[in-house]
Amino acid sequence: MTLTALIGISAVVFALVHFSRGSSDDRPAQASQPAPVRLSPFASAAPASTNSVAAAQPTAFSRAERPEADDESPAMRERQSEADADPADVPTDPTDFPTYDESAVRLGDEHEIPADKSGLTEANARAAALREVDIATPASFSLLEQTLRSDPTARNRLLAVKSLRLLGKQADNAERARQALRLAMSDADQNVSANARDAYDELTR
């Protein structure tokens, strides 16, 4: 009985302390919260340009069919505006949106690298270079041999084996390609070593 009473008293004390602390924590936070700062990208909209879409005639649709009509009641919208900010800051007419000003942009100003080549990890950047190796010139050997020796990504070493095989099909390059492939036959990665072995055998035949 005594224990039960103690537990009950403790619970009451804990609740009082806890709720009391919670409410006191909230008050200063609210009081110190700065007034919301609104950055409107719509305020400095450039004037609309006219051109190819000018052929599109203004609509005969009724006001009720306009896309900005939503399922919120006006009262709800008003409450939302009051809660958010000064209603004057909220653009309600689509003309408030910015428009594309082609005079401000020149073709080629932007990053021109396709997305599959931009933002590459280092391993993928090395792979991209390997995929573009010129298999017609012995000058490519050094990159391929270096890759087999030191690239930690097995896929990249496979790409090197692939190019060595094609490079080695030219008679003048066969011996150097075989040498590189012979080393790759002892690669720790089974796919790389097997690919190198098959390529070596093919160039030896």
Per CB under 8 A, contacts with another protein among 14-43 are 41-42
Q: Round to whole Å and give the CA distance between 5 and 91.
A: 62
Q: Which of residues 110-129 bind another protein (CB under 8 A)?
A: 110-116, 118-119, 121, 123-124
Decide: is 108 part of the binding site for another protein (CB under 8 A). Answer: yes
CA distances from 32 to 20, 84, 163 (A): 19, 18, 66
Report whether 181 contacts 156 (CB < 8 A): no
Nearer to another protein among residue 20 and residue 92 (C-beta): 92
Decide: is 191 part of the binding site for another protein (CB under 8 A). Answer: yes
Nearer to another protein among residue 20 and residue 49 (C-beta): 49
Binding residue count for another protein, defined by CB under 8 A: 73
Angle at Cα 137 formed by Cα 169 and Cα 200, nearest 5°? 30
Q: Which of residues 124-183 bind another protein (CB under 8 A)?
A: 124, 131-132, 135, 153-155, 158-159, 162, 165-166
Most distant CA pair in the chain: distance in Å? 99
Place of tokens 């041999």: 145
Nearer to another protein among residue 8 and residue 138 (C-beta): 138
> Which two three-digit tokens encode residue 192?
């790389």
Decide: is 56 part of the binding site for another protein (CB under 8 A). Answer: yes
